[in-house]
Chains A and B, each alone.
Chain A
Amino acid sequence: MGKSKRKAKKSPFIIIIFILIIGICGYLSFNNYTKMSKLKNDNNKKKAEYLVLNKKYNELLKSNKDFSNELEKEKDIDQTIDNSKKEVFELAKKAEENIQNGKTNYKIAYLTFDDGPYYLTHEVLNVLKEKQVKATFFTIGAGKESCIDNRSFNCTLLYKKIVDNGHTIANHTYSHAIFAGLYSSVDNFIRDIQKQEDLIYSKTNVKTNIMRFPGGSSTAKSLKNDIIIKLREKGYGWIDWTAQDGDGGALKTRDQAWNIFTKSINDNIEVVLFHDYNYITYSILPDAIKYLEDNNYIILPLFHDSVMVNK
């Protein structure tokens, strides 16, 4: 009897505890679940936001890389031009062989301007730029300090402009003094070459390795072979010309220059002699370039490895 009474007293207490536990657990679980649902919702939104931001970031990263590459390319443009120039000379060397072996209908013309820089060099450079043509300038040094070009600039500034415009700068001796002792001895001639080489280097930072004898190689007469040996030691190649408009002589009219020029263009590889002080040459230059291009000539600046440069 006593046992069943105690049992009857215990039962409601246990039931209350039981209900309390279930109530508290239920409340906590429900509360947790509600919070969790809200947070999950928030997380889903955040995940979506993160995905959008991540996509944007990747796009920006890509454009950043593109910008960076483009910037490097722009910064390296001088190097790119140098590489392109080297490739052109390598291809030109092979093209010269093909032309000589009759394997192509293309021809090559090297335009060369002697005795400058002079008062017309600016204008000549502008024509070449307009016609998108590169040439070779056989420069001298004597009298250039006092030379003023057509734009009132000192001619010595033009050495750098020639190089900056991508043309080949070459050595035509410092003095060009054919009748005043240039060819009096091999040493004298080489000293003159060295003087011009130093001048060009001081103005352009370019070490020349192509030269032309003032008056042509035949002017050196008996000294020619000894001079060539010395030039070879100094790493120079030398070149004369195969075509011209006669502007080194007593040229009187444009027609005269044009006739001499067109008649002189016969070979598949031509080295054309001009002077960048001559107004008649300047006046026929655009037509001369067109004439050469119409006749399938690729116009290039000279390079040391060219077959036309004697070594």
Chain B
Amino acid sequence: MKKLLMITVVVICISCCIYTSIMLNNTKKENTELKKNIQTITTKIDKITNDNTIYTEELDKLKKKNQSKDEELMIWEKAKEKLKKALS
């Protein structure tokens, strides 16, 4: 009986040890994965921020260039509105 109790305790202890080792290993893996994900998303953010800066500059240039065209488009849009009124 005493032997059985001792064996049970030893088995429990070893199981506990194995369990915590597995859990630790999983947590380590999760940690590595998270580090990797953070690095990936940081790289993506850097890239997209860079893209956005380029877009902003390009857009500013184009908007300046297209200013007169925007005005022209507005005239056509106004004419469209008037004609729609004439048709309603």
Q: Judging by beta carbons under 8 Å apart, are B10 and A50 in contact?
A: no
Partner of B17, one of A29, A42, A54, A64: A29
Complex Cα–Cα for A273 and B83 (A): 23
Q: A18-B6, A57-B44, A166-B75 are in contact. Are A92 and B83 (CB under 8 A)?
A: yes
List chain A positions with a Cβ less than 8 A from chain B: 14, 18, 21-22, 24-26, 28-29, 32-33, 35-36, 39-40, 42-43, 46-47, 49-50, 53-54, 56-57, 60-61, 63-64, 67-68, 70-71, 74-75, 77-78, 80-81, 84-85, 87-88, 91-92, 94-95, 98-99, 104, 106, 129, 132-134, 165-166, 298, 300
Asked whether A165 lies within 8 Å of B17 as measured between CB atoms, the reply is no
Residues of chain A lying within 8 A (CB to CB) of residue B19? 29
**CB atoms of B62 and A63 under 8 A apart:** no
CB of A54 within 8 A of CB of B49, answer no
Q: A40-B27, A67-B59 are in contact. Are A46 and B76 (CB under 8 A)?
A: no
Which B17-48 residues sit within 8 Å CB-CB of chain A?
A: 17, 19-21, 23-24, 27-28, 30-31, 34-35, 37-38, 41-42, 44-45, 48
Given A28-B21, A32-B21, the answer on whether A132 and B83 have CB atoms closer than 8 Å is no
A40 CA to B51 CA, complexed, in Å: 35
Could you tell me if B16 and A29 are in contact, using CB atoms closer than 8 angstroms? yes
Residues of B within 8 A of A85 (CB): 76
Q: Which residues of A contact B80 (CB under 8 A)?
A: 84, 87-88, 91
**A68-B55, A95-B87, A98-B86 given; A21·B14 CB < 8 A:** yes
CB-defined contacts of B78 to chain A, threshold 8 Å:
132
Q: Is the CB of A81 within 8 A of B72?
A: yes
B28 → chain A, closest Cβ, in Å?
6
List 5 A-B residue pairs with CB atoms under 8 Å apart, sorted by A's residue number.
A21-B13, A64-B55, A84-B73, A91-B87, A95-B83
For A17, give the chain B residue with the smallest CB separation.
Answer: B10
How many residues from B make CB contacts under 8 Å with A?
Answer: 53
Give the distance to chain A from B86, nearest Cβ to Cβ, in Å.
4
Q: Looking at the assembled complex, report how far the CB atom of A241 sits from the nearest CB atom of chain B, in whole angstroms.
A: 21
- Least distance between A308 CB and chain B CB atoms (Å): 15
Choice from A33, A46, A70, A132 contacting B20 with Cβ under 8 Å: A33
Q: Counting chain B CB atoms within 10 Å of each CB, which of A29, A63, A300 scores highest?
A: A29
Q: Known pairs A18-B9, A21-B10, A25-B14; list 4 more (Cβ under 8 Å).
A: A24-B17, A46-B34, A53-B41, A165-B72
Pick the contact of A43 from B23, B31, B41, B62 — CB < 8 Å? Answer: B31
Q: Given the known A-B contacts A18-B10, A91-B80, are A71 and B58 also in contact in the complex, defined by CB atoms under 8 Å?
A: yes
Instruction: Give min CB distance, B5 to chain A, whole Å.
Output: 10
CA distance A39 to B34 in the complex (A): 11
With known contacts A95-B86, A134-B79, A57–B45 Cβ distance under 8 A: yes
Q: How far is the CA of A26 from the CA of B20 in the complex (A)?
A: 11
Q: Cβ of B58: which chain A residues have Cβ within 8 Å of it?
A: 71
Residue of A nearest to B83 (CB): A91
Contacts of A56 in B (CB 8 A): 45
Alpha-carbon gap, A70 to B77, bound state (A): 18
A134 nearest CB across to chain B (Å): 7
> Within 8 Å CB of A63, what residues of B?
52
Complex interface: chain A residues within 8 A of B52 (CB): 60, 63-64, 67
| Contact (A46, B31) CB under 8 Å given A26-B13, A99-B86, A106-B86 | yes
List, in ascending order, chain B residues with CB within 8 A of A70's CB: 59
